[in-house]
Structure 1
Amino acid sequence: MSAPTILFAAKPDRWPTYEPHLRRALAAAGISDANLTTQADPSDVDYIVYAPNSEVQDFTPYTKLKAVLNLWAGVENVTGNATLTAPLARMVDTGLTDGMVEWCVGHTLRHHLGMDTHIHGQDGIWRNGSVPPLARNRPVTVLGLGALGEAVAQALHGLGFPVSGWSRSPKSIANVTTHHGEEGLQAALSRAEIVILLLPDTPATENILNAKTLAALPEGAVLINPGRGPLIDDDALLAALDSGQIGHATLDVFRQEPLPEAHPFWAHPKITVTPHIASETRPETASETVAENIRRGEAGEPFLHLVDRNLGY
C-alpha cells in the first residue's frame, strides 16, 4: 500500500504551528512515511486536514479523498457544502475539551460567588452584605451534552453543583439529570440558576433561547454562552436583561465576529463580552486526533467523530 497523501488546508500561518505536531503524531501512529504537505495535486490527496476558512471550498477535484478531518469543533461552515461527499470528522480534542471545561468552570464560579461585585467595586465601600449559597444549592443546566457539554457537566458535578443537561435526543449520563425534546427543555430550564450553552449551530438550535425559553428560567438566572452566537435571540436577551428576568450574560460567541463596536452588548451593564476565547484547538492534542483517524482510514477501521450531515453535527 502506498503512503497516503495528506493535504493541510488551513490559513498559511497555521502550518508552522501544526507541522511538527502532525509529523510526530503520524509517526507515533505508524504513518511516518505519509506525504504531509500544503500543496498537492488534488487527484493524489487521500486526506484533508481542514479548516473551513481555508482556500479549499470545492472538493470535486479530490477524487481519491477518504476523509476530511476538521480542525474545528464546529462544522456548520462545511456541512452544507454539496461538493463534499467524503466522510467528515469533527474535532474532538482533549486539549480543547480541557480548555472549555476550565473556562466554563471559571465563569460559573465567578457568577456563583458574585465575584464581579468585589472585582469592580474597588471604591472604598466594604460590601459584605451577601453570602452566596453553597454549590449544592445552585442548580446549573448545560444545554448540549456532546463531548464538551458532558465534560463541563461532570466537572461542575465534581464541585458539588446539581447539574441538569439537555440534548435533542435522549442521553443517560452519570451524575447528570438529563432531559431531551421540547418538553424536556422547559424542565431543564425551570430550575436553572446558571445556564451554559454548548450546542452546535444548526437550524434546530438557532434561537433556542428566545423570549419563551428565557421566561422559563428562574428570575435572575445567569447565561454563559461559549457555544455558538445564533443559539440566543439577541433582542430577546436584551429585553430579558432589562426586565431583570436574566441577571447577567457572559457571551464568548456572536452572530457576527468580531462583535461590531456599536453593538449594544458592549455597553450593557449586565453583559460580559469575551472575544471567542473560551477554548482553542491545541495543535499538539488535535494532531493526535487527526493521526488516529488517518491510521484508522489506512487500516480500514471506522473513523472517529463522524458528522451526521442530516443533523449538522
Structure 2
Amino acid sequence: MKSGGEEAVPKWRKAFQAVDPRLDIRWWDDAAVAPEDVSYVVVWDPEPGRLKRLSNLRVVFSSAAGVDNIVRDPEWPRHLPLVRMGGLETGQRMGEFVSWACLSLLRGARRMALAQAQARWDNFNPRFTAPERRVGIMGLGSLGGTAARMLRALGFPVAGWSRTRKELPGVESFAGAEELEAFLARTDILVCLLPSTPETRGLIDARLLSLLPRGAQVVNVGRGSHLVVPDLLAALDGGHLDGALLDVFEPEPLASDSPLWSHPRVIVTPHLASMASLRERARYIAEAIAAHEAGDPLPNLYDPERGY
C-alpha cells in the first residue's frame, strides 16, 4: 500500500477490515514484508523499478482514476493487470464536481470570491442561464457519461467528443479528429475529461482554444498535461476566453508562484474532483481482488494499446 503516506495505512487497514478481514494491509516500505510475499499493491506514484522487484505480484491497483504515474516507470511489469480506480462513488463525485464547476463559471463564482475577499458588495447580474450555455465534454467514458447526465438535469445542452463515437441519451455525439472543430464551435463551456496519452498531451493549446466561441470557458478535470497554461492565460487576458476552472496541473502541487493562483478569471482546486472516500475505494479494491481470485474479470483495466 502506497497511497496517502504511511500515516494513512491504519485508516486503509480499518476500511479493508470492514469489507474483507482476510486482507493483510501493509505499508509500502514495511521492512517486515518480503517482496516475494506481496500479491497485490495499491499505489499512486511508485518509485521506478519497485514494482518489478515484487516477483509474485498478481495485480496492480491505482488508488485514483489515472495511471500515468505508474506506467511512466519504464520497468513496470506490463504483463500484470493494472486496474484503474472506479466505482459508483467516483462517478458520482466527478459528476457533482463538473456540475459545480459549470455552475460556478455560469454564475461568476470567482468574481464573487474576489469581492468577498475585499469586503466589497458587487451586485451583478449573470448574463446567462444554463439552457443558454452549451457544454461540451471531451471524453465520454463512465465519468464523462455521469457528468453529462447531471448537467442535462440542470438544463445545460450537452455534447460529447471522444476517440470513438459514444451514444448517450440526449447528448450530441462527436468523434475523431475530423469532428473536433464542429464540436468546439458549438461549445460555450469546454470540459476536459480525457485520459493522459501521448496524443492528448498539450491538446488544449492556442489553436484549440481559438476554435471555441468568444467568451467560452474551460474546465480541466482530466490531466494537467492536456493544457498549455501560457496559451490559456493568453486567451483569458486577450478576452477570447471568459474564465477557467482547473483541478489538475503539471506538475502537482501547483507551484506557489504560478500566475493561475491570482488570476481574476481562474478558479484553482487541488486535484480533488473525483476522489472517492477511502471506504469506497477499499470496497472497490476488495471486490476486485475477490473477483480475480474467483477467476472472474477485473474491472476498469488499463489498455496499453489505447493508453488508458
Task: Give the alignment's TM-score, normalised by structure 1.
Answer: 0.88
Alignment partner of 1:188 out of 170, 183, 190: 183
Alignment partner of 1:44 out of 5, 14, 37: 37
Task: Give the alignment's TM-score, normalised by structure 2.
Answer: 0.89
SS of structure 1 residue aligned to 2:51: coil
Q: Which amino acid aligns with 2:261?
A: W
Give unpaired runs (5+ residues) of structure 2. Answer: none
Where does residue 228 of structure 1 map in the other structure? 223
Q: Distance in 2 between matches of 1:102 and 1:24?
A: 27
SS of structure 1 residue aligned to 2:285: helix
Q: Deviations over 1:214-237 (max 9, x none)?
A: 011000101111221111111211
Q: Which amino acid aligns with 2:53?
A: P
Length, aligned pairs only? 298
Aligned pairs for 1:85-234 within 5 A = 85-121=79-115, 123-124=120-121, 126-127=123-124, 130=125, 132-234=127-229
For the structure 1 residues 35 and 254, does the alpha-carbon distance in structure 2 shift closer, same or farther, using more than 3 Å as the test? closer
For the structure 1 residues 219 and 292, does the alpha-carbon distance in structure 2 shift closer, same or farther, using more than 3 Å as the test? same
Aligned pairs for 1:239-254 within 5 A = 239-254=234-249
1:90: Cα distance to partner? 0.5
Q: Deviations over 1:230-259 (max 9, x none)?
A: 111112111111211111111121112222
1:118: Cα distance to partner? 4.5
Q: Which amino acid aligns with 1:87?
A: P
For the structure 1 residues 86 and 45, does the alpha-carbon distance in structure 2 shift closer, same or farther, using more than 3 Å as the test? same
1:131: Cα distance to partner? 5.0
Q: Which amino acid aligns with 1:177?
A: E
Where does residue 67 of structure 1 map in the other structure? 59
Q: Distance in 2 between matches of 1:198 and 1:289?
A: 22
Q: Distance in 2 between matches of 1:167 and 1:227?
A: 13
For the structure 1 residues 33 and 266, does the alpha-carbon distance in structure 2 shift closer, same or farther, using more than 3 Å as the test? closer
Q: Distance in 1 between matches of 2:202 and 2:222?
A: 12
Q: 1:228·1:253 contact (CA, 8 Å) conserved in 2?
A: yes
For the structure 1 residues 244 and 301, does the alpha-carbon distance in structure 2 shift closer, same or farther, using more than 3 Å as the test? same
Q: Distance in 1 between matches of 2:190 and 2:243?
A: 11
For the structure 1 residues 202 and 155, does the alpha-carbon distance in structure 2 shift closer, same or farther, using more than 3 Å as the test? same
SS of structure 1 residue aligned to 2:282: helix
For the structure 1 residues 272 and 116, does the alpha-carbon distance in structure 2 shift closer, same or farther, using more than 3 Å as the test? closer
Q: Which amino acid aligns with 2:301?
A: L
Where does residue 14 of structure 1 map in the other structure? 8
Q: Distance in 2 between matches of 1:55 and 1:206?
A: 23
For the structure 1 residues 274 and 53, does the alpha-carbon distance in structure 2 shift closer, same or farther, using more than 3 Å as the test? same
- The alignment-based identity, stated in percent, is 34
SS of structure 2 residue aligned to 1:77: helix
Give unpaired runs (5+ residues) of structure 1. Answer: 1-7, 27-31
Where does residue 273 of structure 2 map in the other structure? 278
Q: Which amino acid aligns with 1:195?
A: L
Q: Distance in 2 between matches of 1:236 and 1:274?
A: 20
Q: Distance in 2 between matches of 1:205 and 1:238?
A: 19
Q: Distance in 1 between matches of 2:167 and 2:269?
A: 32
Q: Distance in 2 between matches of 1:117 and 1:302?
A: 48
Where does residue 33 of structure 1 map in the other structure? 22
1:66: Cα distance to partner? 1.9
Q: Distance in 2 between matches of 1:255 and 1:295?
A: 35
